[in-house]
Each structure stands twice: as C-alpha cells, then as structure tokens.
A and B are shown apart, each in its own frame.
Chain A
Amino acid sequence: GAGVSQSPRYKVAKRGQDVALRCDPISGHVSLFWYQQALGQGPEFLTYFQNEAQLDKSGLPSDRFFAERPEGSVSTLKIQRTQQEDSAVYLCASSLGLAGGPLTYEQYFGPGTRLTVT
C-alpha cells in the first residue's frame, strides 16, 4: 500500500511569506506526528495528533507555527511570516496505534518537505 506522502517536496519562500505543508498519512493510522530536521541534525518533535485531536504541541517553536488535522486524516502544518531560521526539512510520520502508552508502534515517515526561506 501507499506510504506517507508529503507535498510539496521542496518549497522556497521569501522571508515573511506564509507556507502550508501537507501530509497524507497511511490510511487508518490514528497517530500523526510532525518533526523538524535542521541540516546535519536529527529530527525534533513539533506536534502530535490522535485522530483529529492535537494532543501535544509542545515542540512548536513559536506561535507562527500552526498544525491541523480536521478530519483525522490529512494534516497541514502552516508557518506564518516565515523566518530564515525556519529553513529545515519538515517530516511527517504516522503510526497505527495510540501513542503515549506502554506500547510503542512503529512510526512511518514521509519523504519530508525541504523548506528554504530566503
């Protein structure tokens, strides 16, 4: 079956522009995560959805970052008034089960969206 897909794969934005990054998780996956990966670093957690509920947004770096998953499937990460420090690869991951409990489910990652802010 299809894996996690993300679009666009590459995005160049001028500083101050708003951007929207899309994630299509694997069908039926309950949990959806967004991560930010700076060059040469490991991914860092941004936010987590369980179905349509955003249960954890502790990793969002500022109030310019906003994520939604209105129907519990596709998710959008929006960055308002982009800054150069927002340049990174944004990774989306989904998993079958509920996170935050004693069981751990494998997270399946999309290819990421590389955002460059000029």
Chain B
Amino acid sequence: SQQGEEDPQALSIQEGENATMNCSYKTSINNLQWYRQNSGRGLVHLILIRSNEREKHSGRLRVTLDTSKKSSSLLITASRAADTASYFCATDAWYGGSQGNLIFGKGTKLSVKP
C-alpha cells in the first residue's frame, strides 16, 4: 500500500513558471524525500528533509515539511522543459519491522512547455 498522496496528479505549465507539488502522508516519519523519474528511466534523488526540519533548498528546488499536517510541498522555480518528469515523495517510516524502505506516493506528472 502507498503512504503518500501527491497533488495534483498532473500539472502543465509554461517554461519559466513555478511548479508546486504537494504530498500528504499517513504515519509518523523520520524524513521525507522527493524523487524525479523521467519517462522510462529510474528514479533520481532530489532532496531529503528530516522530520525536525521545516524547509530546505537545493538550487531551484524548495521543499517544506509540516509534520503536524503530515504534508510536504516541492516548489520548482523558473521551470525548464527539462524538468518535465514525474515527481514522487517518499517517506522513510522507521517502525518495528521496517528496515527503512521507502514508501512512495503515486506521483505528480509535470509537463513544462517551451
């Protein structure tokens, strides 16, 4: 079963605009990660935010985490056509029996038009 739920499921924007994707999850977490997946390829790690952090930046990426609402957002600023991909949030819920495997949402499909 999947833990996270990304919103929206699909997003289409023009190059240069900002893209915001949201993720909600169900159980307590140690941290939350965002991954990108280009069509037909594996996942690429973008950014990790720990449960005691509220915001993190990496280049054009900004991630926020609100553990009280069990939600996170990924903002991509000044988007480029090359940002076209599916974006997944993944949580690492370390609990009894878990070995730290990632639990993914269904993803947001981002399309950036030139």
Chain B residues 69-114 with CB under 8 Å of chain A are 88, 90, 92, 94, 97-107
Does A62 sit within 8 A of B, measured CB to CB?
no
- B101-A42 in contact (CB<8A): no
- B94-A100 in contact (CB<8A): yes
- In the assembled complex, the CB of A100 is this many whole angstroms from the nearest CB of chain B, namely 4
Supposing A56-B98, A101-B100 touch, asked if A4 and B42 sit within 8 A by C-beta, the answer is yes
- CB-CB under 8 A from B92, the residues of chain A are 104
* Nearest B residue to A40, CB-CB: B106
Chain B residues 41-87 with CB under 8 Å of chain A are 41-45, 48, 50
Does B20 sit within 8 A of A, measured CB to CB?
no
Does A99 sit within 8 A of B, measured CB to CB?
yes
Chain B residues 19-52 with CB under 8 Å of chain A are 30-31, 33, 35, 41-45, 48, 50
Bound CA–CA A56/B43 (angstroms): 22
- B99-A100 in contact (CB<8A): yes
* Nearest A residue to B2, CB-CB: A42
- In the assembled complex, the CB of B32 is this many whole angstroms from the nearest CB of chain A, namely 10
Supposing A40-B106, A42-B107 touch, asked if A48 and B2 sit within 8 A by C-beta, the answer is no
- In the assembled complex, the CB of A27 is this many whole angstroms from the nearest CB of chain B, namely 18
Bound CA–CA A55/B30 (angstroms): 20
- In the assembled complex, the CB of A109 is this many whole angstroms from the nearest CB of chain B, namely 4
- CB-CB under 8 A from A51, the residues of chain B are none
* Nearest A residue to B103, CB-CB: A45
- In the assembled complex, the CB of B91 is this many whole angstroms from the nearest CB of chain A, namely 10
Does A88 sit within 8 A of B, measured CB to CB?
no
Supposing A41-B106, A42-B2, A112-B42 touch, asked if A99 and B100 sit within 8 A by C-beta, the answer is yes
Residues of B within 8 A of A (CB): 2, 4, 30-31, 33, 35, 41-45, 48, 50, 88, 90, 92, 94, 97-107
Report, nearest first, the 5 A-B pairs whose CB atoms are least far apart: A99-B100, A42-B104, A109-B42, A45-B101, A100-B99
Residues of A within 8 A of B (CB): 4, 31, 33, 35, 40-45, 48, 50, 55-56, 58-59, 91, 93, 99-102, 104, 106-112
Given A45-B103, A102-B94, 11 more contacts at CB 8 Å?
Answer: A35-B102, A41-B2, A41-B106, A43-B88, A48-B101, A50-B99, A100-B98, A102-B30, A104-B31, A104-B48, A109-B45
